[in-house]
Amino acid sequence: MHLPIQLAIEGRLCLLVGNGPLVHALIPKLAEHNAHLRHVDPQVTLSQVGPLPDTIEMRQRLYRREDLDGVFLVITDADNPAVNGQVADDARAAGVLIMRGDLPASGDIILPGLKTSLPACSANDTLPVANVANRGLHVSPGKVSLIGAGPGDPGLLTVKGAACLQDADVVLFDAIANPLLVSRYAPQAEKIDVGKRKGNCKSTQENTIRLMLELAHQGRNVARLKGGDPTIFGRGGEEARALFEAGIPFQIVPGVSCVASVPAYAGIPITDREYGSSFGVYTIHKKGGADLSEEQWRRMAQGPDTLILLMGKTMLATIADQLVRQGRPAATPVALITDGTTCRQKRFIGTLATIVEDVERAADGNEGPGLIVVGEVVSAFSSMQWFEPRPGGKYIDATDQETTFTLLSRLMEGIAA
């Protein structure tokens, strides 16, 4: 547990180890508060860290224990987690406070909202925009980035998405966006959970849009982190239009969609010259809870070679029955993939005639949301298996000091698309 306290750092020596995003974010902030800085990293160059304050001492080499001499606060965010672990051990032995960029929760200090002094808020709070205006302060709108987080594996975040997270003052994140991305790439930002899951909504879509607009009107850089791709059944279009109408600058950062990535992790190509050359993507859940019409089912059944059905696990029986009724052969291969691209991924293979019984027989009830693939491409899985989900594995006993972001990516408690 971390207490909300404030530290007086004016004139005090702060050690920064490594060249990660936390170090980059803190150099100007610490300098702004007149701290003395000592930066240690063998690869760091002046161009990487930007304009340097007069009070910074550069040591372009590997970290040594002597670098802690006279230090009040340590920030470590090296590429090598062993270095971060050694720095943390040395700092605690010397009685010095430590912040870690790779494992923020294991450090002594977490600093939310480094780039802003505005109050923190929850997803259901109303922010004091009117009060800002009444004080006569004119704040230019901040920028909003609608970022696709990918399907669950944090390694599938795009380079541009990571850069936008590093630049954010506040992150609004969905339930299906892997939490490792927020802790790794936005350690300095305020985090607000606006996730929506069946039966457990932290925030309605309307409240999320309202909150996003209010934060931007306060001049804050907002990262809206959404699972998969923002504009593929991600309501990114609704949010972009709201931002446009409010006159707030925004950008859309496409993400790796579950549409192709989840089948790929299950060894299933969505197109293949041997099995099928066309595909269609559908969501079974319509706005307002409306059901698909008979005509929609017929077009789907008689449409592309491969069908990708999102958010349809609970309606698997209805899907199989309707597709057969509307003309798909009962022997058509089907795959249900749950918790795709994460360590909890499961794959159930059958046909339209057998898939419901196959899932009932093999599932244990702990599966997350799923994606359904219908078509001959499913037959390719037997010769395309490459991803082995490992909820345990040889790294399960690794300590915080030994665990790297890469290992966490493989062993994470993933949240599926």
Which of these, 2, 3, 5, 55, lies nearest to 33 by C-alpha position? 55
Residue 47 pLDDT more than 70? no
pLDDT for the residue numbered 290: 66
Q: Determine how β-strand 170-173 pairs with β-strand 222-226.
A: parallel
Task: Give 110 or 356, the one with higher predicted confidence.
Answer: 356
pLDDT tens-digit profile of 405-417?
A: 444 444 443 333 2
Q: Is the pLDDT of residue 152 over 70?
A: yes
- pLDDT mean over 246-274: 95
Contact, 337 vs 389, CB < 8 A? no
How deeply is 142 buried, as exposed, middle or buried, from its count of CB atoms within 10 A (0-12, 13-18, 19+)? buried
pLDDT-above-90 percentage for the chain: 52
Considering the candidates 79, 115, 196, 321, report the single residue annotated as catalytic.
Answer: 196
Rounded to whole angstroms, the Cα distance separating 153 from 158 reads: 12
Per-residue pLDDT, averaged over 345-370, amounts to 93
Distance CA 194, CA 26 (A): 27
- The secondary structure of 107-125 as a DSSP string is SS---TTTT--SPP--TTP
pLDDT of residue 44 exceeding 90, the answer is no
263 and 155 in contact (C-beta within 8 Å)?
no
Pick the catalytic residue: 174, 191, 226, 229? 174
pLDDT for position 198: 54
Give CA–CA dist 234/228, Å, rounded: 8
CA pair distance 182, 185, nearest whole angstrom: 6
| pLDDT surpasses 90 at 222 | yes
| The predicted structure's pLDDT at residue 26 | 85
More confident of the two residues 308 and 181: 308
pLDDT in tens, 314-346: 899 999 999 999 999 999 999 999 999 988 899
Task: Supply the pLDDT for residue 233.
Answer: 87
Q: What is the mean pLDDT of the chain?
A: 82
Which domains can be identified in the chain, with CATH numbers?
13-106 (3.40.50.720), 129-256 (3.40.1010.10), 259-383 (3.30.950.10)
Q: Is the pLDDT of residue 253 over 80?
A: yes
DSSP 287-305: GGGPPPPHHHHHHHHTS-S
The Cβ of residue 294 has, within 10 Å, a number of other Cβ atoms equal to 11
Which pLDDT value is given to residue 391? 58
Query: Does 196 qualify as catalytic in the annotation?
Result: yes
Residue 174 falls in the annotated catalytic set: yes
Residue whose entry in the numeric block shows the structure tokens 């239009």: 241
Q: How much is the pLDDT for 41?
A: 92
Classify 199 as helix, strand or coil.
Answer: coil
175 contacts 195 by C-beta, under 8 angstroms? yes
Q: 361 pLDDT exceeds 60?
A: yes
Task: Tell which wins on pLDDT, 399 or 72.
Answer: 72
CA distances from 121 to 137, 190, 250 (A): 20, 9, 21
pLDDT score, position 182: 87
